[in-house]
């Protein structure tokens, strides 16, 4: 079994969403992945009708068979100003593959973390092979992101088979990933070095593959002017 997965933080409605939306749609069509995972995917009543989140908007043009949107948190303020209409930050999975199971898992929130974070746990099937992904977006502070990764890995170890962990992990210190996940997972950045957050020359986005189940065949960090992030595109294969 071979899979192509695309991960992108779409940067909510910032920087001319309508122009970026067209670029994102064209990019995804060109890459033609089996699975797309999107972070900072907003359902924001200042810009869209309620429920018409950015994932749904993209899929109106992409036409993936399945579109799963999960709310991570409701925003009460932005840039120090209160928000008095419904605004939700979420995660989205778009896929052409059959979905066998789906659930949201809440991650623990530290006392000094203003954000709530979740994992989208999705079990899919391709060519008679079943596998699970943990799609997530961790908090944007080094210690909080490492704690979330440790929690995600511990949850992964409770599964019958280790899931693929991926998304905007917000981890700039790659040794933190090795420290927490290196025994059980191959990590995209250590297979091929890349910069996924160009404005600060940092890497925040990763794919973690269970070592005994999958191989990386190809890793690309692509996409100009899609977002403040670049997309991570990985071709992977299932080990026999």
Report whether 128 contacts 97 (CB < 8 A): no
Torsion of CA 191, 193, 194, 197, to 10 degrees: 100
In terms of pLDDT, which residue wins out, 185 or 80? 185
Beta strand 35-44 with 2-9 is parallel
pLDDT of residue 51: 96
> Is the torsion defined by CA of 202, 151, 43, 132 positive or negative?
positive
Measured in whole angstroms, the distance separating CA 107 from the mean position of its chain's CA atoms is 15
pLDDT for residue 79 is more than 90: no
Report whether 230 contacts 222 (CB < 8 A): yes
The domain total for the chain is: 1
pLDDT of residue 90: 98
In this prediction, residue 80 has a pLDDT band, given cuts at 50, 70 and 90, of confident
pLDDT tens digit string along 192-214? 999 999 999 999 999 999 999 99
- Our CA angle for 72, 163, 60, nearest 5°, is 50
pLDDT of residue 176: 97
- DSSP letters of 170-232? ----HHHHHHHHTTTEEEHHHHS---SBGGGTB--EEEEEETTTEEEEEEEEE-SSSSSSPEE
- Over residues 15-19, the mean pLDDT reads 97
Q: Look-up: residue for tokens 């199971």?
A: 101
pLDDT for residue 167 is more than 90: yes
Backbone angles phi, psi at 52, to 5 degrees: -90, 65
What are the helix (H) ranges across 101-181? 142-156, 174-181
- Over residues 65-92, the mean pLDDT reads 95
The answer to which of 79-88, 177-186, 212-221 has the lowest mean pLDDT is: 79-88
Considering the entire predicted model, what is its pTM?
0.98
pLDDT tens digit string along 124-162? 999 999 999 999 999 999 999 999 999 999 999 999 999
Cα(106)–Cα(89) distance, integer angstroms: 14
Report whether 21 contacts 51 (CB < 8 A): no
Domain enclosing residue 118, as ranges: 2-238
Residue 211's domain is classified under what CATH number? Answer: 3.60.10.10
pLDDT of residue 240: 83
Average pLDDT, the chain: 97
pLDDT of residue 106: 98
């Amino acid at each position: 079994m071979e899979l192509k997965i695309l991960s992108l933080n779409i940067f909510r409605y910032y920087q001319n969403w309508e122009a970026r939306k067209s670029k994102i749609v064209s990019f995804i069509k060109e890459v033609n992945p089996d699975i797309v995972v999107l972070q900072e995917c907003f359902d924001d009543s200042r810009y869209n009708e309620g429920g018409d989140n950015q994932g749904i908007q993209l899929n109106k043009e992409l036409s993936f068979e399945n579109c799963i949107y999960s709310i991570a948190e409701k925003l009460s303020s932005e840039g120090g100003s209160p928000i008095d209409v419904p605004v939700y930050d979420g995660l989205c999975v778009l896929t052409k593959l059959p979905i066998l199971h789906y659930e949201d898992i809440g991650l623990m929130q530290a006392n000094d973390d203003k954000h709530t974070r979740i994992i989208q746990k999705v079990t899919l099937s391709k060519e008679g092979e079943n596998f699970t992904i943990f799609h997530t977006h961790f908090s944007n502070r080094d210690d909080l992101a490492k704690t979330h990764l440790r929690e995600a890995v511990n949850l992964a170890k409770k599964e019958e088979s280790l899931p693929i962990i991926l998304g905007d992990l917000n981890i700039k210190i790659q040794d933190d990933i090795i420290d927490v996940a290196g025994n059980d997972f191959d990590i995209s950045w250590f297979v091929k070095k890349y910069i996924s957050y160009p404005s600060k020359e940092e890497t925040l986005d990763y794919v973690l593959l269970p070592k005994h189940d999958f191989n990386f065949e190809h890793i690309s960090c692509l996409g100009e002017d899609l977002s403040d992030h670049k997309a991570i595109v990985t071709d992977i294969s299932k080990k026999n």
